Structure 1
């Protein structure tokens, strides 16, 4: 068996150290528009796929190196840091979109309340004129509800509608989280399958190399025995 020389050992160590882990994620830049948030989320999806592809490639390369476990640990750590940074961007963009939706809803409610108050003030300032001849036609019936009561009823309907929307939003968020979890699990399974394939290929290549080396050694030994005779 051929011994590993110091030069070869140093080269193997340098090969495993060449792929240094990615730096820790910095603070995420704040999102300012919905379009920017959508662009961030789209970019996160692309970068996450690229991180998984890069990890699968690094994993296959690691099985060809001497210090396989050290190389794999570095590749996993680099992948973990990259996915963590992308998750931070994703969380910030989704938070901005939810906050923007809430702000738009609040502005709409404020506008409705202002309009209702204006309508009530106009109606109070210009009450219907009494009839000139009460004997001919019955006097107008008083309003069943006052402007304040109508405004209170409207506010109650708005609260019920908001509660229903919030419940629906919470359910949608849960569905999105379940979908994302399934996607992550699928990606991890694919990566595990790729890793096992690479491991089997590496073992098969090693066995083939060992068999070839043994065959060559046997042939050389047979040749020497033949010459000795």
Structure 2
């Protein structure tokens, strides 16, 4: 099992975002980063070059390479706009038994790809399904019902794909839905329901869009940094 990240060049993220997230992750697991950057060097991370060109589409489509046949490990994947707020070792030590996605934070009947548990056994099916019609998938997955790579994955794997929130209640939360107070700067008028504080049991916080973690100045962000400084001692 490996922890996997993806960094496609030309977007909002760079090597410092990879390093920032890696600093928060448990130190005793191998971490890989799939990227098209020629000179990415992040201590503790094995760089895996992307083998396809993703510059003509939205950056999230590069995540399709997580399902490549030459990457044979089970993978726990996280988006780069993720904050670790607690111990995630129980997830890594006792992972889901099948392919798992996030339940979409705004539309719970759909699935999100900010975190994925990818058993090697499902990769061939997903990989071949995409490459049978890559341009078609990219052009069709542009609606709320079927959005980007996560819409593709839901179509291929089904609406009953397990969700992390059901397997680990309270651990996976959204910054905008579960933390931000209604009416505050980054609130969604329709979906924000937080009180400004971290939910009690949360362990992973997903920003999924604007703002990025580095753009906010929440009081709990330094606490998270301190937590991982203690973990590394």
Which of structures 1 and 2 has the bigger CA Rg?
A: 1
The normalised TM-score by structure 2 is: 0.18
The normalised TM-score by structure 1 is: 0.18
Higher relative contact order (CA 8 A, sep 6+): 1
More helix by share: 1
